[in-house]
Every structure is written in C-alpha cells, then in structure tokens.
A and B are shown apart, each in its own frame.
Chain A
Amino acid sequence: QSVLTQPPSASGTPGQKVTISCSGGTSNIGSNTVHWYQQLPGTAPKLLVYSHNQRSSGVPDRFSGSKSGNSASLAISGLQSEDEADYFCATWDDSLNGPVFGGGTKLTVL
C-alpha cells in the first residue's frame, strides 16, 4: 500500500481536460513539494512536473501541477493519445526521511 493515494485509473477523450489527484498527510505533501512522473508503456518513468508546478524540460504547458493542503493534483488539458500512460505523484516524507510515491494512475485516452 502506497503512502500517497491516487485513483487507480482515469480516462478522457481527445481534447478534454483530465485531473489526477494525489492525497497524503502532514508529514509528506502537507509540508513538502510535490512532483509528478509519467511512465509510458514499457519505458522508464520520466520527470513531468517538479516542485508543485514547474514543468520539466520539453514538457508542454498542457501539463500543470498544483497543491492544496495535504493534497496535490496534475491537470492535463487538450488530451492527446500520446498522453496514455501511468502517472505517479511523489514527495519527501519527514517520517520516512525519504521520498514516497503514489500508487500510480493509469490514464486511458478513449
């Protein structure tokens, strides 16, 4: 069971906006920055958004991150077929003294 909670799946049609949530607690999301990784099928995870809302190099502005309290979210607007992937949230956990991840959300583009 992952420390951070994400919905196991999400879906949308091309052009739609999809939001993926990530819930934690005071020792992790509540007090530290949140990052998001994208894992396309059969590939390694790729840094997508870091420090809440900073896009990694080459990531289109269709991807945006935000945080409120002990939760965070990743929004993907103008959904495209190539966005179909697993998405993981991550942050530092003060109790673990290390990084923790969400269980991942599988995004399907219908």
Chain B
Amino acid sequence: QVQLQESGPGLVKPSGTLSLTCSVSGGSIRGYYWSWIRRPPGKGLEWIGNMYYTGTTNYNPSLKSRVTMSIDPSKNQFSLELTSVTAADTAVYYCAKKTGSYYDNYFDYWGQGILVTVSS
C-alpha cells in the first residue's frame, strides 16, 4: 500500500518561498507521475502540477511562473517550491500519485495534507 507524507513549514511570510517535500513509502517513485494539489480554505481543489519520475513536469498555467517541482528517486521523494507567495496561497497542500492514461488519469493515493499559512 503506497503511502505519502507531506512535510515542510506551516507558516511562510508574504513574498517568501513555500517549500514542501513529499515522502513516498510502500512503493517506488519510479515509473509513475506525482502531483501537488491544494485546497484553499472554503474553496475547492486546485491542481498545481505533475512530475514524472524522470523529471518531466507539467504545471498549471495559472501558477507556472512561480512553481518548481523536483524529484529524488534515490530518496523516494519529490518536492514543491512556490515563490512570491501571498495570502491567496494559504491552503492545505496535498501530494498525490497520478495513475491512468494521458487523458483518463486520476489520483489514487493522497498524502494527509499540510496546512500552509502565508502571513507575516
């Protein structure tokens, strides 16, 4: 059973950089796509980006200029960096495993989520 666990600071200052790591256990990170998704308070889910274990990325165009995802197969971890954060980036951030085909894909395993608050 694949398990994912997010880690990182729960508080980030405005204009700063949000950095999170997702540790994967119970299975290899190799051969799969890995994603970050967030849910702002009182709102729905928003896809941030996907990364293949080889390093190929695909980001949400609305966040693309501020997002960087990276992956370390040797540690079975992948990471998210979001720069120039504002209060609008306050959300619960989830890492997830993506499965399925290119157009018929979905998230079959999720981390428990980590609340990141942007505030001075």
Contacts and interface: CB of A to CB of B under 8 A. Distances in A.
Contacts of B43: 2, 103
A65 B46 CA distance: 22
Interface stretch (B11-19, B23-31, B110-118): B110-118
Contact of B108 (A43, A47, A88): A47
B106 to A, nearest CB: 4
The residue in B59, B60, B104, B112 that gathers the most chain A C-beta atoms within 10 A of its C-beta is: B104
Interface residues of A, number: 26
Contacts of A20: none
Given A44-B112, A44-B113, A45-B110, A51 B46 contact: no
A47 B45 contact: no
Range, interface on chain B: 20 to 34
Interface string B39-66: 0000111110110000000111100000
Interface string A46-76: 1100110000100000000000000000000
Interface in A86-110: 88, 90, 92, 94, 96-104
Given A45-B110, A101-B44, A33 B103 contact: yes
A80 interface: no
Given A97-B58, A103-B44, A47 B106 contact: yes
Interface of B: 43-47, 49-50, 58-61, 94, 100, 103-108, 110-113
Interface of A: 2, 32-33, 35, 37, 43-47, 50-51, 56, 88, 90, 92, 94, 96-104
